[in-house]
Structure 1
Amino acid sequence: MKIYSYDSTGSKSLVDYEHFTFSGGEEHVRFNSTTFSDSTKIEIFERLTNSSKMVRLMIAVDALKRLTNENTPIELVIPYFPYARQDRVCVEGEALGAAVMAKFINSLNFSKVTIWDAHSDVSPALLNRVTNVEQISLLARCQELSQRLSNGELTLISPDAGASKKTIKISEKFDGIPEVIQAQKVRNLKTGEIVKTEIIGDVKGKSVLIADDMCDGGRTFIELAKVLKNNGAVEISLFITHGIFSKGLDVFEGLIDKIYTTDSFKPAYEYQANSKIDLTVIEM
């Protein structure tokens, strides 16, 4: 967790603070009371990727409010919104995870909450005073990818209906030069397994870019890449905002040539390289 203090001139400085975890698992955060004497705004940046970080955030906010008598606005930047994929109740007896997480964040009463490339419209709708940084704004920070899209080198592939709107926005950003081809997947509703992937368009001889918000184990993109290769795609690239890659990059060997992601889920230095896949982490 990084905490920044802004002074009256708008200057931003990184705050040092004490943090440790007690043997019983409790999180402890302590700030220097003089640090925020001239602070006009506090900003917290955190990747909320586990429960300990969520508790630490809650403890830190309480400490900051006590120090500032709740007179200094506190903003939160969480690039990856946890539980975003749990934006509906699919089976009776399950929780609506996105709503639970939004309630937790809203209870801390931030003056502003910033997330990156929300999985769906549900998360931004549930959060108070939220700014959702769109995928296209993040992709545009990668000069190499922007150049290839702007000169028409890459054909955009939308992996499913849910990603279609975002993929079209990317094409529109580059004046409609990149062609957009829609893919669709069929799942077994009982097991969740992808049983079929189809491409509605011609990719023969083309370099393609699959764009989506999140990659966990990668099964969707593996199956899609197989179909793209079988249909004649000569180069397959993948742009993912939130690169979890829980099974590593090895699962993409021989299928995906280049992967682009941001540092929303973890810092760039934590990603494990693969000699056969060109990985670019866009540091924001």
Structure 2
Amino acid sequence: MANEEGNSMTTPVGPLGIIAMRGCEEITDKVDKYLCEWRDDADQGTFQIESCCPRFSSGEGKGLIKKSVRGHDIFIICDVFNYGVKYKMYGMEVPMSPDDHFQDLKRIIAAAGGKARRITVIMPMLYEGRQHRRVSRESLDCATALQELAHMGVTNVITFDAHDPRVQNAVPLIGFDSVQPKYQMIKALVNTYPDIKIDREHLTIISPDEGGMSRCIYYSSVLGLDLGMFYKRRDYSKIVGGRNPIISHEYLGGSIEGKDVIIVDDIIASGDSVIDIAEQLKAKKVNRVFIFATFGLFTEGLSRFDEAYKKGLIEKVFTTNLVYRTDELKSKKWYREVDMSKYIAFIINTLNYDRSMSELLDPVKRINKLLGKLKK
């Protein structure tokens, strides 16, 4: 197996098994294809283990694994934000909520019956990840969910761009990794725009708020770019949709006139904030506005992004294929999908052979190699 990470083979922890929860079939098929190309120990040409979570007409469900997993090193891929998956309850077709997906995940873990040698959950966008801290009398849903998984025997949790990685403090005795898709984002930008000039005179990184500064500092330091930030002024006297509404965004940083800018964030929900920031950047006479967001939820639809694109506020939105994307979104001129399936395959292969993930988690070498090719 030719592995670009340069690791030699060792003995695997156990026979590899991959379980795709509902809605994750597409990306799991791609991951499985890579692993089958690299390895020769696939059972009948696949590492996937068939499972299902059938529902009764009342909405109750159960988990079923259709093959023995005794002694296996199991990886369960779960997208808890896939609202495109539906089930019938009392004759009605109901889209699955994050709660429904998480419950099905626990059903599959329970169906394994403790027979697997090890269970790793790959949950790209962490369940209840934005409910990670307590500011009043409220629940700590993310911490509770992680503790449930640990109690059920999960050994590792792999997530991407966690809203606050410190939530792992809730489960200090199991593995927890928050993987960043920085290399893949930069590679997608370079492939889409070969004319892009990555230097201080032509490109600037923008953080949409103070909470995303650490994410943006990495980009600016590795790429050698200046960094700007927007400060969110909120109305703390009101709560709208569970949050204090944003009054305005205030820019903090140097001159960006005539430059391309990259707004880097973890999530696009409604998109109001990022479009407002793009509008303010255009008022400061920037050139092109690119948006990097690990997860594109687009909870309020795509029309406001269509309008922003027509006005010239945004050039391209890059999001990963780690969560559900509609066919309509994929067809948009302003959208570019960043495929993470090969990266997930590397993670699974590395963990199955019980090797260090340090090089996978720190992509500086790959980014520098990519920049070297771009300069040539």
- What TM-score, normalized to structure 1? 0.85
Q: Distance in 2 between matches of 1:2 and 1:54?
A: 13
Out of 120-129 and 47-56, give the one that drifted further: 120-129
Q: Does 1:118 align with 2:174?
A: no
Q: Distance in 2 between matches of 1:262 and 1:173?
A: 21
Q: Distance in 1 between matches of 2:41 and 2:302?
A: 41
* TM-aligned CA deviation for residue 124 of structure 1: 2.8
Q: Does 1:62 align with 2:110?
A: yes
* Structure richer in strand, relative to its length: 1
Structure 2 residue runs without a partner (length 5+): 1-18, 22-27, 82-97, 239-243, 341-376
| Residue type at the aligned position of 1:21 | R
Q: Within 5 Å, which residues of 2 pair with 1:27-176?
A: 27-34=61-68, 36=69, 40-49=72-81, 50-65=98-113, 69-91=114-136, 93-127=137-171, 128-140=174-186, 142=188, 143-144=190-191, 151-152=198-199, 153-174=202-223, 176=224
| Residue type at the aligned position of 2:209 | D
Q: Within 5 Å, which residues of 2 pair with 1:214-229?
A: 214-229=267-282
- Which residue is 1:242 aligned to? 295
* Structure richer in helix, relative to its length: 2
| Residue type at the aligned position of 1:112 | N
* TM-aligned CA deviation for residue 274 of structure 1: 6.5
Identify if the C-alpha distance between structure 1 residues 187 and 227 changes in structure 2 by more than 3 Å, giving closer, same or farther.
same
- DSSP 3-state at the match of 1:85: coil
| Residue type at the aligned position of 1:161 | E
- Which residue is 1:272 aligned to? 329
| Residue type at the aligned position of 2:60 | E
* TM-aligned CA deviation for residue 164 of structure 1: 1.0
Identify if the C-alpha distance between structure 1 residues 40 and 150 changes in structure 2 by more than 3 Å, giving closer, same or farther.
farther
Structure 1 residue runs without a partner (length 5+): none
Is the 2:102–2:127 contact (alpha carbons within 8 Å) kept by the matching residues of 1?
no
Q: Give CA deviations for 1:190-240 in whole Å, capped at 9, x if unaligned.
A: 232222212222121111110011111112212211211111112111110
* TM-aligned CA deviation for residue 108 of structure 1: 2.2
Is the 1:139–1:146 contact (alpha carbons within 8 Å) kept by the matching residues of 2?
no
- DSSP 3-state at the match of 2:108: helix
Out of 146-155 and 198-207, give the one that drifted further: 146-155
Identify if the C-alpha distance between structure 1 residues 224 and 162 changes in structure 2 by more than 3 Å, giving closer, same or farther.
same
Is the 2:49–2:66 contact (alpha carbons within 8 Å) kept by the matching residues of 1?
no
- Which residue is 1:194 aligned to? 246
Is the 2:204–2:259 contact (alpha carbons within 8 Å) kept by the matching residues of 1?
yes
| Residue type at the aligned position of 2:145 | M
Q: Distance in 1 between matches of 2:41 and 2:180?
A: 25
- Which residue is 2:14 aligned to? none
Out of 223-232 and 147-156, give the one that drifted further: 147-156
| Residue type at the aligned position of 1:157 | I
| Residue type at the aligned position of 1:86 | Q
- Which residue is 2:316 aligned to? 258
- DSSP 3-state at the match of 1:24: coil
Q: Distance in 2 between matches of 1:180 and 1:242?
A: 22
Identify if the C-alpha distance between structure 1 residues 137 and 112 changes in structure 2 by more than 3 Å, giving closer, same or farther.
farther
Q: Distance in 1 between matches of 2:41 and 2:327?
A: 31
* TM-aligned CA deviation for residue 269 of structure 1: 4.9
Is the 1:209–1:238 contact (alpha carbons within 8 Å) kept by the matching residues of 2?
yes
Q: Distance in 1 between matches of 2:140 and 2:192?
A: 36
What is the aligned counterpart of 1:2 among 6, 20, 32?
20
Alignment RMSD = 2.8
Number of equivalent positions:
274
Q: Distance in 2 between matches of 1:121 and 1:86?
A: 12
- Which residue is 1:20 aligned to? 54
Q: Distance in 2 between matches of 1:194 and 1:103?
A: 33
- What TM-score, normalized to structure 2? 0.65
Structure showing greater relative contact order (alpha-carbon pairs closer than 8 Å, 6 or more residues apart):
2
- Which residue is 2:24 aligned to? none
Q: Distance in 2 between matches of 1:10 and 1:202?
A: 56
- DSSP 3-state at the match of 1:13: coil
| Residue type at the aligned position of 2:269 | D
Q: Within 5 Å, which residues of 2 pair with 1:176-187?
A: 176=224, 178-187=225-234
Identify if the C-alpha distance between structure 1 residues 47 and 209 changes in structure 2 by more than 3 Å, giving closer, same or farther.
same
| Residue type at the aligned position of 1:165 | S
* TM-aligned CA deviation for residue 125 of structure 1: 2.7
